[in-house]
Amino acid sequence: MPSLKFRSCCAGLHFVGLFGDALLNYLKHETIFIFTGNSNTHAKLKTRALILLITFLVCHKFGSAQERLSFCTYKDALIEVNECVILLKDTYTRKNLFTRTTVYFTNPTDNFVILDTKNIFLSSDKKSKLSGKYDRLIIIAPHYTRKFYLKFPAKTFMNDSICFDFSRMDISNGPGKGYEAQEIPAKTDNTMTWDNLTLHILEKKRADENYILKLQINYKGSGFLAVDEKKVSMKFSHREQLCINSSIYPAHFYFSAGPTNEILTVAFPINCYVAEDRDKVLFLKDVFTEYPVALKPGGRIILKISEDSALHLDDKEEEKGEKN
């Protein structure tokens, strides 16, 4: 996808091209009358064309200056904190709109890392902090790199540097506690509760080539619950063969931190059934694991303004000096 700067330049050039074409067509049209009219008409038309040309040049220069100052970009930067690596790339600010960055969070440890976006701040000085536009939990699994985006209101613009503060991280602490294997009849409205967990079957249906179950997971613990949805299976009363969940959503582990209600959808191929398999049972073995969580301080990443934006910043400062 083209960069923001490239797209902005293209938009500016498109405007210049349209204006230039309009001027050229006007001059072509009036040329017929320049050589056939009297001298007064000739002079008026020359004056009109000159005014149009000056207007075109002024608008082009003003538009280019505005385009230059409508956004600024920052250099990529990274830090290592709690044995993890946080890399910020493609960071930019749109004037009066937002600041956006792309985060690559690499977790090489055996623990889960839980980030709450309301604990991530943006600042351009030590006094003011901006919180993100959206509240959500971001889970980084062990030995995994997750890419996500952060977006903040655009109250910082054209600063020499900005700072992203990952103020805290919740990290799973120690080995997890596995939940005992359970069986629950695959019928709508069936509910089972054990330990800190309640599972409720909200819906079952046939769709395409799959038998779909929608499960509600109610976790009441204070730790962190990891759900390996790929290990959810269907058990039959007439045979030992298990039918394994084939749903591709979500693609990775399913996670929940703190008391919550979440929805999990599982799917089983219809072709794994036979006529006598009327009594179907959800078989949950090695699916749920609960971990204690430890709070650890995060880290701050300072991003410097890019060279191109810094040049525009210098121009802006010079203009302020001239006015004063």
| Spatial contact of 43 and 265, defined as CB atoms under 8 Å apart | no
**pLDDT reading at 43 higher than 80:** no
Q: Where residue 143 falls among pLDDT bands split at 50, 70, 90? A: very high
Looking at residues 20-45, what average pLDDT do you find? 51
Q: Which one has a higher pLDDT value, 211 or 133?
A: 211
Q: Where residue 94 falls among pLDDT bands split at 50, 70, 90? A: confident
**pLDDT reading at 101 higher than 90:** yes
Cα angle 79, 128, 300; round to 5: 10
Lowest-pLDDT range, 67-71, 136-140, 142-146?
67-71
pTM over 0.75: no
Nearest in space to 162 (alpha carbons), one of 77, 45, 243: 77
Nearest in space to 67 (alpha carbons), one of 321, 309, 324, 319: 309
Q: Where residue 21 falls among pLDDT bands split at 50, 70, 90? A: low
183 vs 243, 256, 286, 309, CA distance in Å? 14, 22, 12, 61
Over the chain, what HEC string results? CCCHHHHHHHHHHHHHHHHHHHHHHHHHHHHHHHCCCCHHHHHHHHHHHHHHHHHHHHHHHHHHHHHHCCEEEECCEEEEECCEEEEEEEEEEECCCEEEEEEEEEECCCCCEEEEHHHEEEECCCCCCEECCCCCEEEECCCEEEEEEEEEECCCCCCCEEEEEEEEEEEECCCCEECCCEEEECCCCCEEEECCEEEEEEEEEEECCEEEEEEEEEECCCCEEEECHHHEEEEECCCCCCEECCCCCCCCCEEEECCEEEEEEEEEEHHHCCCCCCCEEEEECCCEEEECEEEEEEEEEEEEECHHHHHHHHHHHHHHHHHC
Residue 41 has a pLDDT of: 58
Q: What tens digit of pLDDT does each residue of 212-271 get?
A: 889 888 888 888 888 888 888 888 776 677 888 887 655 455 666 666 677 888 888 877
Which residues lie below 8 Å from residue 215, measured CB to CB, with a gap of 6+?
199, 200, 201, 202, 263, 264, 265, 266
* Residues facing residue 201 across a β-bridge: 215
- Per mean pLDDT, which of 34-38, 136-140, 265-269, 299-303 is the most reliable? 299-303
| Spatial contact of 50 and 61, defined as CB atoms under 8 Å apart | no
Q: What tens digit of pLDDT does each residue of 152-192 get?
A: 887 656 678 899 999 999 999 888 899 988 888 888 888 99
Q: Where residue 84 falls among pLDDT bands split at 50, 70, 90? A: very high
41 vs 25, 26, 50, 321, CA distance in Å? 19, 16, 14, 46
Q: Where residue 303 falls among pLDDT bands split at 50, 70, 90? A: very high
